[in-house]
């Protein structure tokens, strides 16, 4: 009954290819977030959303797009993947104060 | 601009002792929220405890408590009676008082190892 799920959990992509990471939440939260985690940097915000149809740029949005087609789903899109985007990606959903994280997606771009 | 700094890269303590992890933050807002999250070896990120800036009392949840020193922009996490399963990476995070956004800024994390 995990409230935030991500797919795929692991992904290997080629440089220049398109990658879509998906996130689903059953918390009925308005806000959803995409972070990446790299050694020495903690978690950094890529994109976020206030609700269906909305997306906002976070702190490191370059090279990424986001899509929020419904309350439950939030996708992160890498149109032209690069090796520097190799990382672990976390989705989260949140209310006015707290955030709840998904299990993460490990992306390797070769 | 917001910033959260955890200077302790790693800490190792004996089981059943008390450990304190440090975190300092920078913000221009008068209203903000401070959080501690735990990331287990499996990668799972779990919310632990929260401190609201307008509250003078230190938050406590189970064997986790906070040492909130507002004049020093400091929010330390205290774990008492540590257990092996407390071994993890702990992240401090801050959210400024814009209720519509909810953006979190994270520190770099502190790896805690509990020795039997």
Contact A42 B108 (CB under 8 A): yes
DSSP three-state, residue B56: coil
pLDDT at B61: 94
Residue A99 has pLDDT above 90, yes or no: no
Residues of chain B contacting A40 with CB distance shorter than 8 Å: 108
CA distance A24 to A42: 23
Minimal Cβ distance to A98: which of B47, B100, B109: B47
- Best probe of the A interface among B61, B102, B105, B107, by most A CBs < 10 A, is B102
Rg (CA), chain A: 13
CB of B38 within 8 Å of a chain A CB? The answer is no
Residue A98 has pLDDT above 70, yes or no: yes
CB of B104 within 8 Å of a chain A CB? The answer is yes
Residue of A nearest to B92 (CA): A42
Residue A88 has pLDDT above 70, yes or no: yes
Over range A70-91, report the average pLDDT: 97
Neighbouring residues of B51: CB distance < 8 A, sequence distance ≥ 6: B33, B34, B35, B58, B59, B66, B68, B75
Over range A88-109, report the average pLDDT: 91
Contact A42 B99 (CB under 8 A): no
Over residues A25-79, the pLDDT tens digits come to 999 999 999 999 998 778 999 999 989 999 999 999 999 999 999 999 999 999 9
DSSP three-state, residue B53: coil
Residue of B nearest to A103 (CA): B44
Average pLDDT, chain A: 94
Residue A2: pLDDT band by 50, 70, 90 thresholds?
low
Chain A to chain B, count of Cβ pairs less than 8 Å apart?
54
Rg (CA), chain B: 14
DSSP three-state, residue B85: helix
Per-residue pLDDT of chain B (116 residues; tens, 9 = 90+): 789 999 999 999 999 999 999 999 999 888 899 999 999 999 999 999 999 999 999 999 999 999 999 999 999 999 999 999 999 999 999 987 665 566 889 999 999 999 99
DSSP three-state, residue B72: helix
- Best probe of the B interface among A33, A42, A49, by most B CBs < 10 A, is A42
């Amino acid at each position: 009954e995990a409230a935030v799920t991500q797919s795929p959990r692991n992904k290997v992509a080629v440089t220049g290819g398109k990658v879509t990471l998906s996130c689903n939440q059953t918390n009925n939260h308005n806000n959803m977030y995409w972070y990446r985690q790299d050694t020495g940097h903690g978690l950094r915000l890529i994109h976020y959303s206030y609700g269906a149809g909305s997306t906002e740029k976070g702190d490191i949005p370059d090279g990424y797009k986001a899509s929020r087609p419904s309350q439950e789903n939030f996708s992160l899109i890498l149109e032209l993947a690069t090796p520097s985007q190799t990382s672990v990606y976390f989705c989260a959903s949140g209310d006015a104060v707290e955030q709840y994280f998904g299990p993460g997606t490990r992306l390797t771009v070769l | 601009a917001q910033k959260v700094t955890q200077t302790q890269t790693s800490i190792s303590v004996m089981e059943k002792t008390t450990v304190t992890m440090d975190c300092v933050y920078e913000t221009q807002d008068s209203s903000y929220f401070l959080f501690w999250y735990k990331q287990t070896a499996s990668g799972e990120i779990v919310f632990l405890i929260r401190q609201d800036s307008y509250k003078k009392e230190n938050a406590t949840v189970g064997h986790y408590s906070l040492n909130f020193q507002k004049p020093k922009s400091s929010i330390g996490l205290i774990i008492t009676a540590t257990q092996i399963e407390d071994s993890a990476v702990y992240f401090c995070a801050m959210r400024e008082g814009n209720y519509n956004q909810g953006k979190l800024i994270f520190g770099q994390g502190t790896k805690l190892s509990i020795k039997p």
